[in-house]
Structures are given as structure tokens and as C-alpha cells.
Amino acid sequence: MPGDTLRSARHTLSVVVTLSGIWLLNSGHYTPLILGLGLLSVLFVTWLLHRMDVIDHESQPTQFTLRIFPYYTWLLYQILLANLTLIKHIWLGRGSLSPVLAYVQASQKTDIGRVTYANSITLTPGTVTIDVRGNRLLVHALTKQGFDELNRGAMDRRVTELEG
């Protein structure tokens, strides 16, 4: 029971820090009144989340905390590369596309890990995760090269490392 309370407090603190960071980045106003109202809004939303009983290991995966920033940096770079490839195929026309619809294996052990992998695939332009069945993800890719890149497993390995 004490471990559950500690875990719950860690998830709640994670929500407060996340909401505060988002609020501060989007506000752009740092007067005492605005900061106070921001704090009140963060605490109110946190209270609502507790009342709804949605603060848990899935909504706030604190196990990702230290490893998430290098992963996000890598993912943003992959999104940039995929955008450039997509632009190239737009310029080359339909003849340059070779659509693929097939399954990829996911090596993640948790649901949140598989969801992170599926969402990472979908965030990368030219690929979309259509379905998740156990450890298999049905993926549509605009090109065979894009699908082959997924099959090489770099993204899968990185998400598995992120999972811990």
C-alpha cells in the first residue's frame, strides 16, 4: 500500500510538472497574477484528473522520464527525413510510389510501449499504423523502402529501450 501511494504521488507530481511546463511555454506572460492563475488552473485540472481517476502509469508513464528526450530528438530527426523523402516522391509523381500493407513485429513488453511504437510509426510521414494485434502492427507505407526501413528495426529498438 505505501508503494502504491508513492507511485500515485509520483504520477500526480508528473502531471503537475507537465501541465505547468505546457502552461508556461504557451503563456508567455510571467507576471505574479498570471503565474498565480496558471498555478490555480494546473491544480484545478490535477484535482479533476484525480476525481476522474485517470492519473496512473498509462496516462503518466514516469518510467519514460529520463529516456524520453533523446528519443524525441531522434524521432524528430526521423520525421524530418521522412518529410524530405515524401517531398521527393511528390515531385517524382505517382510512379515513384510502391505502397505496402503488411505487418511489422513489435518487441515491446507493455501496452504503452506498443502504443508508443505504433504512434511513432504514424507520426513519421509516409507510414500509418492501421491495427495492433498483440505484438504485430499492421502498417501502410507509401514506399517499399519506407516499410523496409521499419523492418530493419531501429525504431522498434529505440522504443523498447525507452520502455526500459
Lowest mean pLDDT among 2-16, 87-101, 124-138: 2-16
Q: Is the pLDDT of residue 1 over 50?
A: no
Average pLDDT score, the chain = 86
Give the per-residue pLDDT at 163.
Answer: 80
pLDDT digits (tens, 9 = 90+) for 4-42: 565 577 778 878 888 898 899 888 888 999 999 999 999
- What would the mean pLDDT of 106-128 be, rounded to a whole number? 91
Using DSSP, state whether 39 is helix, strand or coil: helix
Q: φ and ψ at 38, to 5 degrees?
A: -65, -45
- What would the mean pLDDT of 95-104 be, rounded to a whole number? 94
Domain ranges in the chain are: 2-60, 65-163
Give the per-residue pLDDT at 61.
Answer: 56
Tell me the C-alpha to C-alpha distance, in Å, between residue 164 and each of 10, 27, 87: 17, 34, 35
